[in-house]
Chain A
């Protein structure tokens, strides 16, 4: 794959002092675009590979400045507040620039690999001391492979430890090319049953599990397993057992499993994207349940960590 400093990509956040996305103090680059559509997605702003408007209704004064500014005619006033026609909006961000009360924010920033690298390198002194580095997350880093490779290579050349947080849904060719620049992979296991996986995320998990085997055995890249615990979707003891079974028998017993409890921080994001119809109400799992699931993983002889 041709990597270049000038390769452009779309990201929606750079999180500094990220301490739950790999070893040490890290900077996590959240990339936009994801091939999965998990029903419980906590970062809905990450799904589309294009810029979107984040709108805080409660801040809007209905002044109408944004209506004038929008060249696509995508904004109208409704009940004293502005409202965006998401079909017309291509995410130019003009409205966010003019909004006097910051009710509108543009999600998604088009940047070159070099620019991202420079943002990441700012915290190099913390990486050196803590054994940290950069983590590409998303969205799905593999959805922008050229960009991901370019960023990773720049970081690696500068001696920065690289981690890729992935759902694993991409062609083997893509996986191989991107991950050859990764020092560590955080690999998501959302559901072990192919049919259920398809039902909840929109795709089956065969390719994902297959890629996991190859990454672990062929590329021999250190791997951490990440299992989101979403009550009523994938939190049954059976699913966790089967998932752990897969990890321990088909991958390796040295893989640390992180059980990530569902949190509700994503809920307001659906409002802000004016996608309330897609929001689901899920209660975060209880502490006791998390401990019980942790025990299941441990019973296979694997190290299990709650959170991060």
Chain B
């Protein structure tokens, strides 16, 4: 890290972060003026207003420019998801976020404009009156539970990023097109298309609005870049330091050209990329796609023509990491628990097969890793695609970064990821070009998007099954009556009852997703992202209003499945096979949270087979559950066309999801955190080392899933020498060759984590892997901190 990077990085460490309302204000003014116009045009104009008016600045030393909020390190209050109640603002202030009294008063007025017009309000319109769905939304089977019709699960978001993209869209736009062709070309295409448009159908009118909206926003983006060009020019004129003056002049020159026209150099390409990235955020799941692929030609040409050396490239890549760190993010209280530590999933995919089946690893892939090593920030995250031909040197380079303890890169297997697309009908060549969006979900660049993903807490359904469809926490009949479990005479009956309950609640989840998709489609059209998808101008529709070449609009995502597999194994063994306990006793023990006379029964349950030890007894139950989940998911239509598809990630929902769940027969106490990830064993239950965990995970057919997640934690002693890294590389490759999808590592010893809990002030830089993202350890909640500490540490000395 050189002096510039060190200084920019130190600017990221603030005691408190400012909440901003400037974007909210500008958007609201514009929306008030455009009342009555087509929604997509109103959105386009409101965005143009933001880009033309929002405060801009260039920080000292910055090489890549474009501020994420109206104040440095600020978070712009977002309106799309619902109003910010006083209670929510108060809770943010408690956590050290700042807002002035005037701005807080202004916010209250602004909020009033959005009553019922937000996404949550629109969803509530349908959900609240429905006698099946409303109790379900409140139950916490989907986390977080809804609090009220107006507030949904509570509060919206405040975040950095200037676009109209608040949602958890999992998608990758066509960066290559912007860099190689420039926005002027798309604007020209849109104008041409408008000229020849014949109004022979209702769709043509829609298309007309869409194209006009695209022209409005893309022209505004170019003006936005020009504002930076002017600012840099003014600053250069006043700059005393001649080196900095030159930098500012270069910034001015670059911003005048980029975006409108094709980038000519690596530097121009990066600046162009960053402006677009600012416009596809605040979405916390904005993806950079195959960054090392589309950026490579610019890098290569510069190197060959002597305009750039690797040190300069590295400095720019580190600047980009810092820029991404400026995109802060916070959500309402309950959502905060689901994704703690200012979670976001800005994922850079590197390596992997090219569409022509060659290895895509190049010099830039290595430099991206080196930049993370030199500038170890939790974001942006990096995911390394691994296939048989991935160079071993590249694996070692990636593991050297892992070894630093920042929890990245994550590794994913091309084989199973590509297979997922193939089985859904995608041609092989296109499938090979997949990217990671969100934490680990795969999408095809510019060809697909996933817009709805909920956190389904499977152990809640297990509890409900134990009570014949009644939620034991409320006494309400939530699910179907599948029988009193005390009457069941064999395990198969029990399993059948559980599956029936599961399918029932999954259907409700799918219905809820469709309500969300329709509300998003109506309220959140986004001409920026939409214009950067394949055939956007010809298609002439918003990205949520068209059937994509690969249609995966909504996915279904189980959390805590492993706890249920372990619980079913205990029930099968102790109740039905060995008959050591009766179902009645077990239910009593669970109700008593294993206290009093049930201590011994809990020990028996803890000793029952547990997933993660290469034990078929329980692993095959896990396999069956995931298979069932995938099959049932595929039976539900989505409102965007196509079927629901399965995925399996947990973010940090295993924490609060566990808090809502009573004791379970795997020996878990009520309220305890569930198993992390989705292929990970319950922490502390895997006793035979990482190879056994991997063998258990390989018994689950992961191919139908859009993503799965397996966390392994190693003691630093396991990654000391290059020889150690080679062995770990072999472990990773073996997993992927045999059908595994994903592996990521925490490499930090327990003592350090415990010390960080005691003395957070000494560990402000300590980064850990949470789920699909890394975060500063001390910014995580206590329960998730404890969970990470307790994950089984694979240590090598006896």
Point out residues on A near B: beta carbons under 8 Å.
13-20, 24-25, 30, 43, 100-102, 122-123, 125-126, 129-130, 132, 263, 265, 305, 307-308
Q: Are B720 and A307 in contact (CB under 8 A)?
A: yes
In the complex, what residue of chain A is closest to B733 when comparing beta carbons?
A129
A19 touches B727 (CB 8 A): yes
Q: What 1/0 mask marks residues of chain B from 774 to 798 whose CB sits below 8 Å from any chain A CB?
A: 0000000000000000000010111
**Is B43 an interface position by the 8 A CB rule?**
no
Question: A16-B692, A100-B600, A125-B738 given as contacts; is B731 within 8 A of A25 (CB)?
Answer: yes
Q: Given the interface contacts A16-B691, A16-B692, does A25 sit within 8 Å of B727 by beta carbon?
A: yes
The chain A residue sitting closest to B714, CB to CB, is A17
Cα–Cα distance between A307 and B796 once the two chains are bound (Å): 12
B350 to chain A, nearest CB (A): 23
Since A20-B724, A43-B798 are in contact, a sample of 14 more A-B pairs with Cβ atoms closer than 8 Å, ordered by chain A residue number, is A16-B691, A17-B689, A17-B691, A19-B723, A19-B724, A19-B796, A25-B727, A101-B599, A122-B691, A122-B692, A126-B691, A130-B734, A132-B727, A308-B724
Max chain B C-beta neighbours (<10 A), residue from A43, A126, A265: A126
CB of A197, distance to nearest CB on chain B (Å): 24
Contact B731 A308 (CB under 8 A): no
Q: Chain A residues near B614 (CB, 8 Å)?
A: 122
Q: Which residue of B lies closest to A13 (CB)?
A: B798
- Report chain B residues within 8 Å CB of A13: 798
- Nearest-neighbour CB distance to chain B for A27, whole angstroms, equals 8
- Quick one: which of A20, A43, A122 contacts B695, CB cutoff 8 A? A122
**Taking the complex as formed, is B13 at the interface, i.e. its CB lies under 8 A from any CB of chain A?**
no
Please determine whether A15 and B798 come into contact, CB atoms closer than 8 angstroms. Answer: yes
Q: When A17-B794, A43-B798, A100-B600 are in contact, do A123 and B718 touch as well, CB less than 8 Å?
A: no
Residue of B nearest to A18 (CB): B796
Chain B hits for A102, CB < 8 A: 603
B contact face: mostly helix, strand, loop, or mixed: helix
> Assuming the A-B contacts A19-B727, A123-B691, A129-B734, are A265 and B600 also in contact, with contact meaning beta carbons closer than 8 angstroms in the complex?
no
Contact with A along B719-749 (1 / 0, CB 8 A): 0110110110011011000100000000000
Residue of A nearest to B692 (CB): A16
Contacts known (A19-B718, A100-B600, A101-B603); A126 close to B730, Cβ less than 8 A: yes
Q: Min CB distance, B720 to chain A, in Å?
A: 6
Q: How far is the CB of A134 from chain B (nearest CB, A)?
A: 13
Per-residue CB contact flags for chain B residues 589-604 toward chain A (1 = under 8 Å, else 0) read 0000000000110010
Contact residues in A for B796 (Cβ distance below 8 Å): 15, 17-20
Give bound CA distance, A308 to B724, whole Å: 9
Contact present for A130 and B603 (CB under 8 Å): no
Which residue from A20, A43, A125 sits with its C-beta under 8 Å from B734? A125
Inter-chain CB contacts under 8 Å: number? 71
CA distance A20 to B726 in the complex (A): 12
Q: Which residue of A lies closest to B607 (CB)?
A: A102
Chain A: minimal CB distance from B417 (Å)? 20
* Nearest A-chain residue to B603, judged by Cβ: A100
Q: Is the CB of B690 within 8 A of A17?
A: yes
In the complex the two chains form, what is the Cα distance from A130 to B691 in whole Å?
Answer: 12
Whether B688 lies near A25 (C-beta < 8 A) is no
- Kindly provide the distance from the CB of B526 to the nearest chain A CB, expressed in whole angstroms: 46
Q: Contact flags (1/0) for B412-455 with A, using CB distance below 8 Å?
A: 00000000000000000000000000000000000000000000
Measured CB to CB, the nearest residue on chain B to A98 is: B600
Q: What separation, in Å, do the CA atoms of A192 and B798 have in the docked complex?
A: 26
Report the Cα distance A307→B797, complex, angstroms.
Answer: 11
List, in ascending order, chain B residues with CB within 8 A of A30's CB. 798
Q: Are B798 and A17 in contact (CB under 8 A)?
A: no
A265 touches B724 (CB 8 A): no
Contact in complex: A130, B599 (CB < 8 Å): no
Can you list 30 A-B contacts (CB < 8 A)?
A: A15-B796, A15-B798, A16-B690, A17-B796, A19-B718, A19-B727, A19-B796, A20-B724, A20-B796, A20-B797, A24-B730, A25-B727, A43-B798, A100-B600, A100-B603, A101-B603, A102-B603, A122-B614, A122-B691, A123-B691, A125-B738, A126-B691, A126-B731, A129-B730, A130-B730, A305-B721, A307-B720, A307-B721, A308-B720, A308-B724
Interface string of B478-490 (1 = CB under 8 A from A): 0000000000000
* Contact (Cβ within 8 A) A130 B727: yes
- Name the residue of chain A whose CB is nearest to the CB of B601: A100
Residues in chain A near residue B691, CB distance under 8 A: 16-17, 25, 122-123, 126
> How far is B798's CA from A123's CA once the two chains are assembled, in angstroms?
19
Query: How far is B797's CA from A30's CA once the two chains are assembled, in angstroms?
Result: 12
B494 to chain A, nearest CB (A): 26
In the complex, how many angstroms separate the beta carbon of B689 from the nearest chain A beta carbon?
A: 4
Most buried by A among B600, B724, B727: B727
| Chain B proximity of A19: nearest CB distance (Å) | 5
Bound CA–CA A36/B403 (angstroms): 37
Cβ of A130: which chain B residues have Cβ within 8 Å of it?
726-727, 730-731, 734
On whether the beta carbons of B731 and A17 are closer than 8 Å, the reply is yes
CA distance A308 to B420 in the complex (A): 40
Contacts of B721 in A (CB 8 A): 305, 307-308
Q: What is the CB-to-nearest-CB distance from B550 to chain A, in angstroms, rounded to a whole number?
A: 33
CB pair B797 A263 closer than 8 Å? yes
Q: From the candidates A15, A19, A100, name the one contacting B599 in the complex (CB within 8 A).
A: A100
Collect the chain A residues with CB atoms within 8 Å of residue B733's CB. 129
Min CB distance A155 to B, Å, is 16
Q: How far is the CB of A41 from chain B (nearest CB, A)?
A: 12
Residue of A nearest to B614 (CB): A122
Bound CA span A132–B692, Å = 16
Shortest distance from the beta carbon of A165 to any chain B beta carbon, whole Å: 12
Which A residues are CB-close (under 8 A) to B718?
A: 19
Closest to B738 in A: A125
Complexed CA–CA distance, A13 and B797 (Å): 12
Q: List residues of B (287-328) whose CB comes within 8 Å of A's CBs.
A: none
Residues of the A chain whose Cβ atoms lie less than 8 Å from the Cβ of B692? 16, 122
- B723's partner among A100, A123, A308 (CB-CB below 8 A) is A308
In the A-B complex, the 8 residue pairs with the smallest Cβ-Cβ separation, listed nearest first, are: A16-B689, A130-B730, A17-B689, A19-B727, A100-B600, A16-B691, A17-B691, A123-B691
Q: Which of B672-713 contact A (CB under 8 A)?
A: 688-692, 695
Residues of A within 8 A of B734 (CB): 125-126, 129-130
Q: Are B730 and A25 in contact (CB under 8 A)?
A: yes
Minimum C-beta distance from A207 to chain B (A): 27
A265 and B797 contact, Cβ closer than 8 Å, known pairs A16-B689, A100-B600, A308-B723: yes
A307–B727 Cα distance when bound, in Å, is 15
User: Which residue, B600, B796, B798, has most C-beta atoms of chain A within 10 A?
Assistant: B798
- Min CB gap A67→B, angstroms: 16
Residue of A nearest to B728 (CB): A19
Q: Smallest CB–CB gap between B737 and chain A, Å?
A: 8
- Residues in A with CB closer than 8 Å to B717 are 307
Complex Cα distance A210/B326, Å? 67
- Please, which residues of chain A bring their CB within 8 A of the CB of B727? 19, 24-25, 130, 132
Please indicate the chain B residues that have their CB under 8 angstroms from the CB of A25 in the complex: 691, 727, 730-731
Q: How many Å lie between the Cα of A308 and that of B600 in the bound state?
A: 41
Among residues of A, the one whose C-beta sits closest to the C-beta of B688 is A16
Distance A56 CA – B691 CA, assembled complex (angstroms): 28
Query: Which residues of the partner chain A approach B720 to less than 8 Å between Cβ atoms?
Result: 307-308
Closest B residue to A99 by beta carbon equals: B603
Query: Whose C-beta in chain A lies nearest to the C-beta of B694?
Result: A126
- Quick one: closest B residue to A123, CB to CB? B691
Smallest distance from the beta carbon of B731 to chain A beta carbons, Å? Answer: 7
Task: Enumerate chain B residues within 8 angstroms of A101, measured Cβ to Cβ.
Answer: 599, 603
Question: Nearest Cβ in chain A — how far from B427, in angstroms?
Answer: 31
With a cutoff of 8 Å between Cβ atoms, the chain A residues found around residue B797 in the complex are 20, 263, 265
Closest B-chain residue to A125, C-beta based? B734
- Shortest Cβ distance from A204 into chain B, in angstroms? 27
A254 to B153 CA separation, bound complex (whole angstroms): 67
CA distance A308 to B726 in the complex (A): 14
Which residues of chain B are near A16, meaning CB under 8 Å? 688-692
How long is the Cα–Cα vector from A130 to B718 in the complex, in angstroms? 16
Q: Which residues of A contact B723 (CB under 8 A)?
A: 19, 308
Cα separation A265 to B731 with both chains bound (whole Å): 26
